[in-house]
């Protein structure tokens, strides 16, 4: 049995192949903490990510690790042995709120850990002695960052966002270490994380959001970005790209949700679909190289 150390705690549990409980690891403190992403290394270690507030303890006994958030909430990454003993834990963030998204934690073929999440205000993605500052342009922006096998920040910190609230829910890497992200954005956003400007404006208004699909190079430079959305209003109408995966013919599947009469062609042409009620789901197939809709 587990007892939270305060509000909500995060945990990772291990079960046998026939469903029998084996071990559990707990993370948390007096405030609300949560785990949101999980992956496994080639050697069987477990990487877990999430968010915490205040002071959080990582581990159940022995030599637990303590992390202290810099503000409202920070994101964390922790590595656990197959027995779920905590090997290391690191944090990143600033005075605002930082989160890791579901489906937004992966390991590159070379072993580097890649994470995507949301932040507000000014956040330091490097929780160690260095500094990797990103500054949001409004409500929440999106970040993409890499960490080494010991949890150290190794660069490629990138951000994009605008004056509204923007987020990420999907992250994928291909065999050439190109990254693909999907999520939502509102108002107008510069999706180029570098010196250039690639401006996209959501069709939704008054807090409504459109979905985006984008790809960046291994260095974090923008390859392409495309958007999907509808002319609707209200902050309850948030169209989202929630995940991506490879197809057998070298393209990409992208899934998400939409409201109203939405253009589901992320390119310059239009393919309209009408939701039957509140929100409906979409599945589209797009080219990896350009993000253009596949029609075959």
Count of Cβ atoms closer than 10 Å to residue 106 Cβ: 17
Task: For residue 235, name the pLDDT band (cuts at 50, 70, 90).
Answer: low
CA dihedral 180, 184, 186, 192 (to 10 degrees): -10
Average pLDDT over residues 262-271: 77
CA of 216: how far to CAs of 80, 134, 279, 285, in Å?
29, 17, 29, 18
Prediction pTM value: 0.89
Average pLDDT over residues 167-173: 92
Render pLDDT for 16-75 as a digit per residue (tens, 0 to 9). 999 999 999 999 888 999 999 999 999 999 999 999 999 999 987 667 889 999 988 999
Render pLDDT for 75-110 as a digit per residue (tens, 0 to 9). 999 999 998 999 999 999 998 999 898 888 999 888
Average pLDDT over residues 139-162: 88
Task: For residue 204, name the pLDDT band (cuts at 50, 70, 90).
Answer: confident
Average pLDDT over residues 266-281: 80
The set of residues, in sequence order, having a beta carbon less than 8 Å from that of 161 and lying 6+ positions away, is: 136, 137, 138, 140, 141, 142, 185, 189
CA distance 139 to 206: 14
CA distance 214 to 247: 17
H or E element: which one contains 159? strand 153-162
CA distance 184 to 141: 10
């Amino acid at each position: 049995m587990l007892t939270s150390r305060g509000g909500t705690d995060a945990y990772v549990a291990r079960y046998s192949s026939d469903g029998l409980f084996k071990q559990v690891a707990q993370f948390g403190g007096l405030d609300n903490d949560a785990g949101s992403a999980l992956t496994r290394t080639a050697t069987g270690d477990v990487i877990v990510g999430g968010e915490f507030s205040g002071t959080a303890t990582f581990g159940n006994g022995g030599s637990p690790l303590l992390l202290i958030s810099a503000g409202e909430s920070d994101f964390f990454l922790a590595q656990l042995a197959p027995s779920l003993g905590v090997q290391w834990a690191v944090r990143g963030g600033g005075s605002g709120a930082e989160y890791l998204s579901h489906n937004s934690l992966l390991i590159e073929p070379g072993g580097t850990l890649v994470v995507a999440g949301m932040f507000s205000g000014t956040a330091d993605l490097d929780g160690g002695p260095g500094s990797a500052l990103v500054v949001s342009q409004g409500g929440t922006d999106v970040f993409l960052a890499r960490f080494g096998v010991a949890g150290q920040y190794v660069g490629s910190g990138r951000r994009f966002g605008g004056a509204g609230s923007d987020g990420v829910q999907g992250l994928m890497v291909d065999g050439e270490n190109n990254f693909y992200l999907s999520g939502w954005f509102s108002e107008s956003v510069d999706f180029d994380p570098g010196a250039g400007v690639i401006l996209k404006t959501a069709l939704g208004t008054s807090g409504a959001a459109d979905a985006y699909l984008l790809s960046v190079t291994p260095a974090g430079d923008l390859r392409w970005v495309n958007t999907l959305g509808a002319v609707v209003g209200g902050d309850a109408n948030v169209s989202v790209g929630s995940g991506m995966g490879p197809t057998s013919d070298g393209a990409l599947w992208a899934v998400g949700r939409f409201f109203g009469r939405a253009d589901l062609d992320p390119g310059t042409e239009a393919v309209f679909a009408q939701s039957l009620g509140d929100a409906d789901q979409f599945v589209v197939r797009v080219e990896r190289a350009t993000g253009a809709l596949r029609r075959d």
